[in-house]
């Protein structure tokens, strides 16, 4: 199959429930509107790219963008919601996973980025339960296969109709010679803690497992007969609702981002992305607030999504996704900040003071997710700390997330960085540690020292271990130029693998397993001839010829 | 470069210090012989395969087989040794890593298996320190690059000569567009806990880091000037010797294994490997002891390596390596045991009773390493528990290590399995848990129940959660045949990735990170055109043309 998507229109991530094509976000009156329903109803003919009908509630990036948007809006716009039910509007099918023809016709890079985004979205569903107290139930009114079942096991509770035909299944390995691409294998053994031999059997039986056996193996939580499906789903929904720990939250509306895009990049209000195709370097700049920012949660609620903490990070998220999906040839990103550091610290002071307020908490969690998106973006990030930059507190996290930090050692200008209370654990990485903790695994006492120290000059920051290289005025331009040139000249694949290995030291979590281990295996398989070769299983899916495997085991 | 090794002679893993070509294992008189010296002195012209001279103490599988053998012999044959110094006989070069031309001319499967074996050997060096109390010091009398530095960071302590030229380096990414293949990136950030930005800088500078900076960054522990190198090495050797916790151990000699090999497989005394090229299924059978086995540590010392616990597991190790390296097309392994279960339990009783004895402990650790080798072997393992099998205690671990366990539910014959005290934590997996603990993450109370239960019939074993499928007499033959046929028909790559993801639930360790995450990225990169394509960096290394990269980031 030809790899077509590289020549297509760029992928854009903004949407709105009114524009959803494939999902319905409903707020039924029962339970006082405390249970949102996310109903999957994929329109076959409205795939994100032409060439593959989205049959049987199969999905592509367009479907998943809507799901990600819905989760975000539930958190910010619908404070009454205290639990979510995910289900399907199709008869006898919940979801048949990522569309196979879409995968078969996509580039390797697109497949990898698509899986990463869908993985993030499923983790958001879990984070919404763990951090915001909004648990989810998956009501499988029909078969959930592949990514469909992976979506189900991202929920807290699964009900499967026992109707003699509805099954849960991972047909990827037996039918397509790839792995379930969205954390499925990891969640089987690490989240649902299913016995490895049963997980093995399940993952190799294309037709999957139904009814009682699915319950016995731990694949679903209950499998009532069709006639009792509604009743059981209601009972179990009431049970998760009972456990919901959502705190009172003031609603805000997430307004559309305003962005000017061109060949040269994108200009948002607080974020700017400048692309240099020739050097394969992008410059990503985040600006400090420049007007009045909220000083209380009430003011934040009033200002809504135009508050800097929300808007700047939503813009950053959009820019990062743009880099991932639409700028494949960019290898290195120069991370910059500019503006009034005091204004950033003032926002930080408000957020950290009111971190237990519902809306403030959601804001911090949003920032956390965006910073994680940065950690997981397969580009080299070099932070440049220069005069008039504002790598302080929340924005210092950008430098701590970078692969290297260059800080100018200037005689003429003040250059400084600073921590704030926001660096003390409010933005955990996938490994569960703060970026400071991860940085100083060898000398943990440096964490509290950095947190106490406040503003630091270049020399202080070097001493504190926050800076990789600190060229002086004379050397700065040359050293920076050479560093970017050298990095951009290296094999993109080697850099991706190296960064994935160096960025997450310390403890492992289900999340690091999903992105570190499972994704790497998936990526490996996604380029093996047995899957994607001319006679591979993914290529030949749906064709009369059977795949033709090279039997050599690696 | 043509991929040549598939057509070559098989790789054999047995050797002896008298036959070493590339290493010298010395026992200098100083320190009362308590410090063994492992001196690397690679013979350029004696590579394992023709076609690549082993310049600059670079290594191939032949070099590493000797190192693995030396470590094993130090533990069993040299009880006086309480610390090890690893160094080089070459002037100004310690070791330049895995030979690049060897890698460039090897099949993907060979590269992957080569890296896995070298990884295991480095972990054995660390296990020797942690579990047997024999720490190691790496005396870098010259440059250690790539796998050379990876060998160094597997040691507890590193001294680097500060002579203006000797450096430590990871040139893999910048020069070859691959990753350091032997755990290097993981050990940088997770063992030596080097700051990620410094690790990033280090791993992209081909010429590496020398002297003081290497100490400052945490890459080595001390970097004395050349003139003081010997003195400092002695001082630091004395320091690790001081900390050695090796307990008194009786020496035994590891005798050569006797094995009859043919196209159809290999027959050892206690292990038999039968190959069926047509079905791509191998049958690996381990026999119970059939004579008198030691009942005390003294008797074990007298019987030496012909004791079942040692001999059967050395044979199993050899058979597993044979499967990995020489039988690439075997996809599924039928794991069987046969013989007198009581004799296995008697050995287990002796071992567990005397587990604190030095030699018994080494024996248990050997068994542990072999069982881990099984966990990490990229073949599907199905254990078949039939009449007259003896999956009890130590041999029950084989079933617990298997991807599935089939147990015959027979009316006519007795079929049983049993735990022994050996299943209670003496054979931890890479994740640090016992196989029973890993199996029952969901219901941890089952672990102690299984340990207390003793012999179990098929029905008991099914109830206890030890069995995947239990066909009866009538169905057994068909079900087994179909299970093997179906498994053998699946994509070998998908099975490898799936098994790697399902086998190690639960906590992550440096070891699971190395085999799970780092190896997967390495494998991915090992087939990217930027590395191994016609114009890739690995292919073009040493040629006049520069590599030609596809700049798309994945």
User: Which pLDDT tens digit goes with each residue over B352-381?
Assistant: 999 999 999 999 999 999 999 999 999 999
Per-residue pLDDT at B516: 85
The first and second tokens of residue B245, run together, are 């916790």
User: Contact, B122 vs B183, CB < 8 A?
Assistant: yes
Cα separation, B525 vs B523, whole angstroms: 5
Portion of chain B with pLDDT greater than 70, in percent: 99
The first and second tokens of residue A156, run together, are 């807290």
Per-residue pLDDT at B102: 95
Half-sphere exposure of B252 (CA within 13 A, CB side): 23
Q: How many CB pairs under 8 A join A and B?
A: 281
- Asked whether residue A35 carries a pLDDT value surpassing 60, the answer given is yes
Please name the residue ranges forming H helices in B339-468. Answer: 341-353, 358-375, 396-401, 435-439, 445-453, 458-463
Q: What are the pLDDT digits (tens) for A467-503?
A: 999 999 999 999 999 999 999 999 999 999 999 999 9
Q: What are the pLDDT digits (tens) for A375-424?
A: 999 999 999 999 999 999 999 999 999 999 999 999 888 899 999 999 99
Could A186 and B501 be called an inter-chain contact, meaning their C-beta atoms sit closer than 8 Å?
yes
Q: Chain A contact for B549, CB < 8 A? A: yes
β partners of residue A88 = A40
Q: What are the pLDDT digits (tens) for B85-139?
A: 999 999 999 999 999 999 999 999 999 999 999 999 999 999 999 999 999 999 9
Cα separation, A210 vs A157, whole angstroms: 16
Task: Give the residue carrying structure tokens 């849960």.
Answer: A168
The CA distances from residue A144 to A97, A231, B71, B427, B498, in Å, are: 8, 20, 51, 38, 19
Per-residue pLDDT at A7: 53
* Residues shown for chain B: 554
Task: Give the residue carrying structure tokens 């911090």.
Answer: A364
The CA distances from residue A401 to A376, A493, B159, B475, in Å, are: 10, 20, 32, 57
The first and second tokens of residue B125, run together, are 């060096």
* Residues shown for chain A: 554
For residue B283, count other CB atoms closer than 10 A to its CB: 16
Please name the residue ranges forming H helices in A135-221. Answer: 147-153, 184-186, 196-202, 211-216
In the structure, how many helices (H) and strands (E) does chain A have? 22, 20
The residues, any chain, with a CB within 8 Å of residue B399's CB and separated by 6 or more, are B335, B383, B385, B391, B405, B417, B466
β partners of residue A261 = A266
- Band (B9; pLDDT cuts 50, 70, 90): confident
Q: Chain A contact for B434, CB < 8 A? A: no
Per-residue pLDDT at A342: 97
Could B112 and A505 be called an inter-chain contact, meaning their C-beta atoms sit closer than 8 Å?
no
Could B491 and A201 be called an inter-chain contact, meaning their C-beta atoms sit closer than 8 Å?
no
* Contacts with B, A 319-358, CB within 8 Å: 328-331
Which of B196, B430, B510, B512 should one mutate to test binding to chain A, selecting the residue with the greatest count of A CBs within 10 A? B196
Per-residue pLDDT at B3: 41
Closest chain B residue to the Cα of A506, Cα to Cα: B190
User: Contact, B55 vs B143, CB < 8 A?
Assistant: no
Per-residue pLDDT at B2: 37
- Asked whether residue A1 carries a pLDDT value surpassing 90, the answer given is no
Which of B400, B517, B536, B539 should one mutate to test binding to chain A, selecting the residue with the greatest count of A CBs within 10 A? B517
- Chain B closest-CA separation from residue A163 CA (Å): 24
Task: Give the residue carrying structure tokens 């939580």.
Answer: A221
Portion of chain A with pLDDT greater than 90, in percent: 92
In the structure, how many helices (H) and strands (E) does chain B have? 22, 20
CA angle B31, B35, B39 (to 5 degrees): 130
Q: Chain A contact for B7, CB < 8 A? A: no
For residue A545, count other CB atoms closer than 10 A to its CB: 8
Q: What are the pLDDT digits (tens) for B441-456?
A: 999 999 999 999 989 9
Ramachandran category for residue B106: left, alpha or beta (phi over 0 → left; psi -120 to 50 → alpha): beta
Residues of chain B in contact with residue A194, where contact means CB-CB under 8 angstroms, are 442
Cα separation, B370 vs B270, whole angstroms: 15
Q: What's the pTM?
A: 0.96
3-class DSSP state of B142? strand
Closest chain B residue to the Cα of A435, Cα to Cα: B196
Average pLDDT, chain A: 95
Closest chain A residue to the Cα of B331, Cα to Cα: A553
DSSP assignment letter at B236: H
Which helix (H) or strand (E) is B475 found in, with range?
helix B473-488
Which helix (H) or strand (E) is A499 found in, with range?
helix A492-502
Cα end-to-end distance, chain B, whole Å: 25
Mean pLDDT throughout A534-552? 92
Q: What are the pLDDT digits (tens) for B164-183?
A: 999 999 999 999 999 998 99
Per-residue pLDDT at B518: 84
Per-residue pLDDT at B414: 87
3-class DSSP state of B187? helix
- Asked whether residue A2 carries a pLDDT value surpassing 50, the answer given is no
Cα separation, B23 vs B41, whole angstroms: 6
CA-CA-CA-CA torsion sign (A507, A512, A518, A520): negative
DSSP assignment letter at A391: -
Per-residue pLDDT at A554: 82
Q: What are the pLDDT digits (tens) for B145-160?
A: 999 999 999 999 999 9
Of residues B488, B328, B468, B478, the one with CA closest to residue A200: B468
- Band (B6; pLDDT cuts 50, 70, 90): very low
β partners of residue A86 = A38, A138
Q: What are the pLDDT digits (tens) for A220-249?
A: 999 999 999 999 999 999 999 999 999 999
Closest chain A residue to the Cα of B503, Cα to Cα: A196
Residues of chain B in contact with residue A114, where contact means CB-CB under 8 angstroms, are none
Could A492 and B549 be called an inter-chain contact, meaning their C-beta atoms sit closer than 8 Å?
yes
Could B198 and A468 be called an inter-chain contact, meaning their C-beta atoms sit closer than 8 Å?
yes
Could A196 and B493 be called an inter-chain contact, meaning their C-beta atoms sit closer than 8 Å?
no
* Contacts with B, A 11-50, CB within 8 Å: none
* Parallel/antiparallel/unpaired status of strands B23-26 and B35-40: antiparallel
Cα separation, A147 vs A170, whole angstroms: 8
Which segment of A95-99, A419-423, B523-527 scores lowest on mean pLDDT? Answer: B523-527
DSSP codes joined into one string, A508-519: --HHHIIIIIIH
DSSP assignment letter at A480: H
Cα separation, A271 vs B199, whole angstroms: 29
- Asked whether residue B7 carries a pLDDT value surpassing 70, the answer given is no
3-class DSSP state of B117? helix
Closest chain B residue to the Cα of A492, Cα to Cα: B553
Write down the ipTM of this complex: 0.94
The first and second tokens of residue A14, run together, are 């903004």
Could B554 and A204 be called an inter-chain contact, meaning their C-beta atoms sit closer than 8 Å?
no
Cα separation, A224 vs A140, whole angstroms: 11
CA angle B253, B302, B289 (to 5 degrees): 90
Q: Chain B contact for A441, CB < 8 A? A: yes
β partners of residue B213 = none
- Chain B closest-CA separation from residue A188 CA (Å): 8
Could A402 and B197 be called an inter-chain contact, meaning their C-beta atoms sit closer than 8 Å?
yes
Could A498 and B442 be called an inter-chain contact, meaning their C-beta atoms sit closer than 8 Å?
no
CA angle A269, A274, A275 (to 5 degrees): 150
Residues of chain A in contact with residue B176, where contact means CB-CB under 8 angstroms, are 494
The CA distances from residue A352 to B127, B301, B433, in Å, are: 45, 65, 39
Among A405, A499, A553, select the one facing B330 at the smallest CB separation: A553
């Amino acid at each position: 199959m030809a790899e077509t998507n590289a020549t297509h229109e760029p992928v854009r991530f903004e949407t709105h429930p009114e524009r959803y094509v494939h999902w319905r976000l409903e707020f039924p009156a029962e339970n006082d509107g405390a249970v949102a329903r996310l109903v999957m109803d994929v329109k076959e003919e409205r795939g994100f790219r032409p060439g593959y009908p989205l049959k049987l509630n199969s999905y592509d990036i367009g479907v998943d963008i809507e799901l990600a948007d819905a989760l975000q809006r539930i958190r910010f716009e619908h404070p009454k919601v205290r639990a979510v039910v995910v289900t399907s509007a199709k008869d006898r099918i919940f979801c048949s996973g990522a569309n196979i023809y879409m995968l078969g016709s996509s580039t390797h890079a697109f497949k990898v980025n698509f899986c990463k985004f869908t993985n993030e979205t499923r983790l958001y569903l879990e984070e919404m339960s763990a951090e915001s107290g909004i648990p989810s139930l998956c009501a499988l009114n029909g078969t959930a296969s592949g990514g469909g079942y992976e979506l189900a096991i991202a929920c807290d509770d699964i009900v499967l109709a026992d109707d003699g035909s509805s099954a849960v299944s991972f047909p990827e390995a037996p039918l397509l010679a790839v792995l379930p691409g969205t954390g499925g294998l990891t969640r089987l053994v690490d989240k649902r803690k299913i016995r490895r031999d049963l997980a093995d059997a399940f993952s190799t039986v294309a037709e999957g497992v139904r009814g009682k056996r699915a319950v016995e193996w731990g694949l679903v939580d209950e499998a009532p007969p069709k006639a009792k499906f509604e009743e059981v789903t209601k009972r179990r929904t009431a049970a998760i609702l009972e456990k919901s720990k959502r705190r009172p939250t003031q609603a805000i509306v997430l307004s559309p981002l305003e962005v000017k895009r061109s060949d040269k990049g994108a200009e948002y209000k607080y974020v700017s992305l400048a692309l240099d195709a020739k050097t394969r370097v992008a410059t990503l700049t985040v600006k400090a607030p420049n007007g009045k920012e909220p000083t209380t949660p009430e003011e934040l609620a009033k200002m809504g999504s135009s508050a800097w903490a929300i808007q700047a990070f939503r813009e950053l998220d959009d820019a990062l996704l743009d880099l991932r999906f639409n700028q494949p040839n960019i290898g290195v990103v120069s991370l910059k900040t500019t503006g009034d550091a005091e204004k950033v610290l003032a926002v930080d002071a408000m957020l950290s003071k009111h971190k237990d307020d519902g809306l403030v908490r959601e804001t911090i969690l949003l920032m956390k997710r965006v910073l994680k998106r940065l950690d997981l973006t397969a580009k080299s990030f070099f932070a440049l700390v220069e005069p008039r930059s504002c790598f302080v507190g929340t924005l210092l996290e950008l430098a701590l997330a970078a692969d290297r930090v260059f800080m100018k050692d200037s005689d003429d200008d003040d250059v400084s960085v600073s921590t704030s209370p926001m660096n003390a654990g409010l933005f955990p990485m996938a490994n569960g540690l703060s970026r400071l903790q991860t940085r100083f695994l060898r000398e943990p006492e440096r964490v509290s020292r950095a947190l106490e120290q406040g503003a630091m000059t270049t020399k202080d920051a070097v001493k504190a271990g926050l800076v990789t290289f600190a060229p002086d005025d004379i050397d700065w331009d040359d050293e920076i130029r050479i560093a970017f040139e050298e990095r951009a000249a290296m094999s993109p694949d080697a850099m991706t693998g190296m960064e994935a290995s160096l960025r997450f030291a310390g403890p492992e979590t289900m999340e690091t397993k999903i992105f570190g281990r499972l994704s790497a295996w998936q990526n490996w398989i996604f380029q093996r001839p047995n899957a994607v070769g001319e006679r591979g299983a993914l290529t030949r899916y749906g064709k009369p010829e059977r795949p033709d495997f090279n039997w050599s085991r690696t």
